[in-house]
Structure formats: C-alpha cells, structure tokens
Amino acid sequence: MALLSLLDHSLIGAADRVALEADAAGGATQSLTFGDLEARSNRLAVALAARGVTRGDRLAFLLANRVEIIDLWLACMKLGIIVVPINVLYQQREIAHIVGDAEPLAVVTTADRAADLPTGTPAWIVETLHEEAEAHTEITRARPAMVTATVCDADTPMALVYTSGTTGASKGAVLTHGNFAANALVLTADWGMRADDRLLNTLPLFHVHGLGNALHLWLLSGCHMKLTARFEASRAAEWFGAYAPTVFFGVPTMYVRLLDLAADTARAIGAHARLFVCGSAPLPAHVLEAFHERFGHVILERYGMTETLMNVSNPYHGERRAGTVGLPLSLTSVRIVDEQGADVPVGTSGELWVRGPNVCAGYWRRPEATAAAFADGWFRTGDIGVRAADGYITLEGRRSELIISGGFNIYPREIEELLMEQPGIREATVVGAPDPARGEVPVAYVVSDADIDAAALTALLRTQLASFKLPRAFVRVEALPRTALGKVQKHLLPPVS
Ligand code: MLC
Ligand code: AMP
C-alpha cells in the first residue's frame, strides 16, 4: 500500500480519536483529532495548489516543531510535492546551499527568518499560509478531487533531506514514499507501537529521527503524540509528569540530561513508560546503565542514517545489549566488508553496507555521488563496525571525519574553510573532542599570524554557522602535523587543555 493509505488507518479510520497535543502560540497547547489533521491537510493541499505548487515541485520549510509542519508534510504527501526540511538552527550560508541545490518553489518559514533566505527565494509565512488554507471552509475531511487524482507509489520522492554523507558537501538524500512506508511498518511492528501509546516527541521534525520515526510511527499506529517546539531539559520533569508518555525517542544528549532528574521523578516517569529508544549517535554504556538504575528501563538503542532511515536495532523482546546497536531490522540486510568489498568474518571490523526498502533512491541531482555511495546495490554507510557470533553489531567509528554533537552532524571541512577565510588565519583544522553531554564538540586548531580572540571569532562565526558547529575552543599551534603528501594528521594534534 502507498504511504498515504497506510496512514489512512488513523487519518480516516480513527478520525474522531484525539491525536495530538502541541505547543501553540503564546504558551498555549493545541489539541487535534486525526480527522482535524486530515481536514487541515486537505485544505492546505488546495491552498498550495492555488499558489501554483504541483507534483514534483520542491517546497522547503525552515521551522521549529509546530503543527503546521505536520499539515505541510501531509498536504505534500497528498499532492506528490517533495518536502525539503531545513534545520532551524542553520544560518544564511547553510540555508543558501540547500536552497541553491534543491531549488524549492518557496520556503515556508516565520516572518523573523524570512530575511535569512537567499535573495529571490520566496518566503511563505507559515501563519499566512495556514490562514489561506483555513479559509477553504468548504473543504473538510472528504478528500478533494486533486488529492484523489494524485497517484503516488513507492518510488515517488517524498523528501530531500540534506546530509553531508561521507564527504564534505551537503547533499539531498532522495527519500521516497516507499522508504518512509517501509521504515514506519518495520519499526511499528518491531517496537510494538500501539494505538494506546502516548509518544512524547521533542526531536526536531527537520531530521529523520523525528520525521521518519516519531511522526510516522505516531500516524501509522494511531497513538497519541505530544509535540514540543524542542527538547528543553528544564521542562522535562513537567512534560513527562503531566503527559505520562509510554514511549520516548531521543538522542544520547537527551538521556544524559534526563539523568539529572530527581530520583523519585525518574522512578515515576519509568512507571508510566514502556519504551525508551535512543539513536543518531553512540549511547555510552554507562548512560544506559545509569538510566536503567534510575528509570527502571533498558534503553533500546538503534542505528540509522538520513540516507537509509533505520537499519539496525536492539530487539524489543530479546536482550538489549549495551554498547551495541543490535540486529538488522526485519527488511534490511547488512554486510560488513573490507576495503575490497569482501565480507569479513565474525569478530573482524569492516564497513557496514546496507540494502533494503528503507534505503534512499540516491542524492538529488548528483549522479556521481550516488554512484560512489552504492556498490552492487548496497549502500556504503561509511560506518565501521563488527558483528558478534550471535549477530549483534557494534559500531566502532566512521570512515569519515564526521563529528556528531547532540545528535547533529558537523563536517569539519565546512568550519575549516570558514576559519581560513578570516584575516590572519593561515591554516585551520577542526576535530571532535569528547564531551560528557553532547558526545563530541568541535575544537579548532589554527596557525595564525596573531593571537586568537576567541570571543570575537565565535561572534563572527555565529552569524554564519548553526550554534552546534561553533568550535568550543581555538588552539593556536605553530604548524599542523602533516603527512609527506600534505594531509593533516588529526590524531597527532595536541589534546585541548
Ligand atoms: C538545540 N537548540 C535548538 C534546538 N536544539 N534550537 C531550536 N530548536 C532545536 N531543536 C539550540 C539551543 O537554542 C542552543 O543554542 C543550543 O542549540 C544548545 O541547546 P541546549 O538546550 O543547551 O542543548 P542540550 O541540552 O545540550 O540539548 C541539545 C539537544 C539538541 C539534544 C536538544 O542537540 C537536539 O535537539 N538534538 C537532536 C538532533 C537530531 O534530531 N538528530 C537526528 C539526526 S538524524 P545556543 O545558541 O544558545 O547555543 C540521524 C539519523 C538517525 O542522525 O540515526 O537518527
Ligand atoms: P545523519 O547523517 O545525520 O543521518 O547521521 C547518521 C550517522 O549517525 C550514522 O552514519 C552513524 O555514524 C551515526 N549514528 C546513528 N545512530 C547511531 C548509533 N546508535 N550509534 C552510533 N552512531 C550512530
């Protein structure tokens, strides 16, 4: 079945069930049924068509979590429009790259961010668009003809999600309706999502953890979701206490923050819950153990990528083994191979290659990058791992220099290039330094003519880079260690004091 027909079990089949509570303007909370979501997205589909968007067009959004992202996602799904999510933390330079590459008809955003779009790119203000949609009072839960006439199948592109892949330039992974359907079906089944679940989602909807997993598992299972604008550690006790979720999906940093909750609060949260899932970055074994002790639950760790959605997961019923990402999900095959692409034996490290209906169609308008990412139909993840005799996979690192901080990806190259554009900086290299809460944070090593004014440099970089990419320290060195061929030997850099 097509993606939309899967979700129809909730949108149409459970139309009167309360589906969602979400942060609304002015600190209020909004409550909607699945039928409300169906009607809102029908109206938005008509409003979008009136603005001239048609099948195959790209439409981007630059928004923090809010109900209108869900409306937009469903309306685009109904019309075959390709959604381009943009990280709301991105600054002009980062946004310009995505907009230039995806060429969306417009970017749906808020008035205060409109000025951050490249000149000539229409900003569609989210509130205006919503008002326009809601003015179509004649459109209700009955699907308008333009929706019923739109036929999408598993190969229809649903989204371009930008990722740096294993090399520096950010590329749009073409995720299809079939990719989202396969991911949602497998996880709903493998993690036992049920209509009586209560899912607290604090993950951003502009990345696949929130978008592919949380949003679709909610819509497919027909459970209830609480959507917050973002994760805020200071509000966790209030959210978990009042909402009493049965399911929570998070990145390791969120679990580290939750360990700060008082012991009795943690126990009470654990008593209501049935499942805590973690992914997007390595979950340290000691965090899993501390969480178990305080909340009474063994976190289920899984492994995914923007390009592949979810690949490997610890089992719901079997052993959730600390430090491992578990076993391949039901529709995904995983090989671990050496440099020549030959399978390595159990216990030997190699690169993970994956294949399945969850794997993207390739990179948007980049046939060379697509060709390089696949080998004989297998997607080369760039992640290094090892398989135990009983199949459990442990990730050991990455082939690339990717830094993951708080679950957000950082490519050193982007920061290095920006640093080298600054007057007085002759050379720069950026590496990830361990951080107890965020996993890793970027640190810059620079060769410069004068002392570095870290505060001034940070202030300058802040206007061009998302906050999570700002180096946490600048270390001035005489020279960067290099190989005979001139490549920087990052492992020989002095540790940050
Ligand atoms: C963080 N900030 C946000 C934000 N998250 N701002 C708006 N919306 C968000 N969603 C900003 C803060 O304002 C602040 O900016 C800075 O980031 C740090 O915030 P913090 O509250 O001090 O951070 P912290 O408690 O450390 O928590 C950060 C975090 C965030 C965990 C909430 O890192 C996060 O949401 N991570 C999730 C990333 C994610 O979804 N990754 C999945 C990628 S998909 P300032 O300016 O004050 O510094 C993928 C595939 C897979 O990897 O397998 O899933
Ligand atoms: P992204 O490009 O943002 O989708 O990030 C995908 C990358 O996140 C993967 O290639 C892995 O390196 C990493 N990742 C995701 N889940 C895990 C996990 N559970 N443990 C370790 N790394 C992970």
Q: Is 398's C-beta closer than 6 angstroms to any atom of ligand 2? A: yes
Q: Is 378's C-beta closer than 6 angstroms to any atom of ligand 2? A: no
What's the rounded mean pLDDT across residues 70-94?
A: 97
- Looking at the structure, tell me whether residues 166 and 131 fall in a common domain: yes
Q: How far is the CA of 23 from the centre of ligand 1 (A)?
A: 17
- Looking at the structure, tell me whether residues 373 and 442 fall in a common domain: no
Q: In angstroms, what CA-CA distances link 127 with 21, 108, 132? A: 18, 9, 9
Question: What CATH number should be reported for the domain holding residue 462?
Answer: 3.30.300.30
- Looking at the structure, tell me whether residues 363 and 441 fall in a common domain: no
Adjacent-strand bridge partners of 384? 351, 397
Instruction: Tell me which of 86, 179, 209 to substitute to probe ligand 1's pocket, judged by most ligand atoms within 8 Å of the beta carbon.
Output: 209
Question: What CATH number should be reported for the domain holding residue 107?
Answer: 3.40.50.980
Highest mean pLDDT among 158-167, 388-397, 417-426: 388-397
Q: How far is the CA of 114 from the centre of ligand 2 (A)?
A: 31
Q: What is the pLDDT of residue 28?
A: 86
- Looking at the structure, tell me whether residues 120 and 211 fall in a common domain: yes
What's the rounded mean pLDDT across residues 128-140?
A: 97
Q: What is the pLDDT of residue 166?
A: 59
Q: Is 97's C-beta closer than 6 angstroms to any atom of ligand 2? A: no
8-state DSSP, 209: I
Given a cut of 70, whether residue 165 has pLDDT beyond it is: no
Pocket lining for ligand 1, CB < 6 angstroms: 64, 88-89, 203-204, 207-210, 230-231, 233, 251, 253-254, 257, 279-280, 304-306, 406-408, 437-438, 467-468
Contact by Cβ (8 Å): 341, 325: no
8-state DSSP, 213: I
Q: In angstroms, what CA-CA distances link 153 with 29, 77, 79? A: 35, 11, 12
For residues 37 and 11, give the distance between their C-alpha atoms in angstroms, rounded to a whole number: 7
pLDDT band at 27 (very low <50, low <70, confident <90, very high): confident
pLDDT tens-digit readout, 373-416: 999 999 999 999 999 999 999 999 888 889 999 999 999 999 99
Q: What is the pLDDT of residue 1?
A: 66
* 288 in a structural domain: no
Instruction: Tell me which of 66, 88, 89 to substitute to probe ligand 1's pocket, judged by most ligand atoms within 8 Å of the beta carbon.
Output: 89
- Looking at the structure, tell me whether residues 388 and 424 fall in a common domain: no
* 270 in a structural domain: no
The runs of H, that is alpha helices, within 164-251 are 177-190, 208, 216-221, 236-243
Q: In terms of residue numbers, what domain contains 448?
A: 402-492
Q: Which domain-ending residue is among 376, 398, 420?
A: 398
* 137 in a structural domain: yes
- Looking at the structure, tell me whether residues 390 and 424 fall in a common domain: no
Q: Which domain-ending residue is among 230, 260, 279?
A: 230
Query: Domains in the chain: how many in total?
Result: 3
pLDDT tens-digit readout, 440-482: 999 999 999 999 999 999 999 999 999 999 999 999 999 999 9
* 235 in a structural domain: no
pLDDT band at 23 (very low <50, low <70, confident <90, very high): confident
H or E, element range at 476: strand 474-476
Q: How far is the CA of 407 from the centre of ligand 2 (A)?
A: 8
Q: In angstroms, what CA-CA distances link 123 with 114, 116, 128? A: 6, 10, 11
- Looking at the structure, tell me whether residues 57 and 86 fall in a common domain: yes
- Looking at the structure, tell me whether residues 74 and 210 fall in a common domain: yes
Q: How far is the CA of 367 from the centre of ligand 1 (A)?
A: 32
Torsional class of 253: left (φ above 0), alpha (ψ -120 to 50), beta (otherwise): alpha
Q: Is 301's C-beta closer than 6 angstroms to any atom of ligand 2? A: yes
For residues 482 and 484, give the distance between their C-alpha atoms in angstroms, rounded to a whole number: 7
Question: How many helices (DSSP H) and strands (DSSP E) are in the chain?
Answer: 16, 25
Adjacent-strand bridge partners of 427? 447
Q: Which of 21-25, 66-70, 210-214, 353-357 has the lowest mean pLDDT?
A: 21-25
Q: What is the pLDDT of residue 230?
A: 97
- Looking at the structure, tell me whether residues 109 and 206 fall in a common domain: yes
Contact by Cβ (8 Å): 82, 177: no
Q: Of ligand 1's atoms, which has the minimum distance to the CA of residue 250?
A: 37
Q: Is 166's C-beta closer than 6 angstroms to any atom of ligand 2? A: no
Whether this prediction's pTM lies above 0.75 is answered by yes
- Looking at the structure, tell me whether residues 178 and 210 fall in a common domain: yes
* 181 in a structural domain: yes
Q: What is the pLDDT of residue 233?
A: 97
pLDDT tens-digit readout, 294-331: 999 999 999 999 999 999 999 999 999 999 999 999 99
Given a cut of 90, whether residue 116 has pLDDT beyond it is: yes
The runs of H, that is alpha helices, within 301-343 are none
* 144 in a structural domain: yes
* 358 in a structural domain: yes
Q: How far is the CA of 21 from the centre of ligand 1 (A)?
A: 21
Q: Of ligand 2's atoms, which has the minimum distance to the CA of residue 398?
A: 12
Given a cut of 80, whether residue 148 has pLDDT beyond it is: yes
Q: Is 324's C-beta closer than 6 angstroms to any atom of ligand 2? A: no
pLDDT band at 168 (very low <50, low <70, confident <90, very high): low
Q: Is 360's C-beta closer than 6 angstroms to any atom of ligand 2? A: no
**32-57 burial string, b = 16+ CB within 10 Å, else e?**
bbbbbbbbbbbbbbbbbbeeebeeeb
Q: What is the pLDDT of residue 369?
A: 93
Question: What CATH number should be reported for the domain holding residue 351?
Answer: 2.30.38.10
- Looking at the structure, tell me whether residues 409 and 428 fall in a common domain: yes
Cβ neighbours of residue 393 under 8 Å, at least 6 residues apart? 303, 312, 324, 325, 326, 327, 328, 334, 336, 352, 385, 386, 387
- Looking at the structure, tell me whether residues 423 and 386 fall in a common domain: no
pLDDT band at 496 (very low <50, low <70, confident <90, very high): confident
- Radius of gyration over every alpha carbon of the chain, rounded to an integer in angstroms: 23
pLDDT band at 485 (very low <50, low <70, confident <90, very high): confident
The runs of H, that is alpha helices, within 83-149 are 92-102, 126-134, 145-148
Q: What is the pLDDT of residue 249?
A: 98
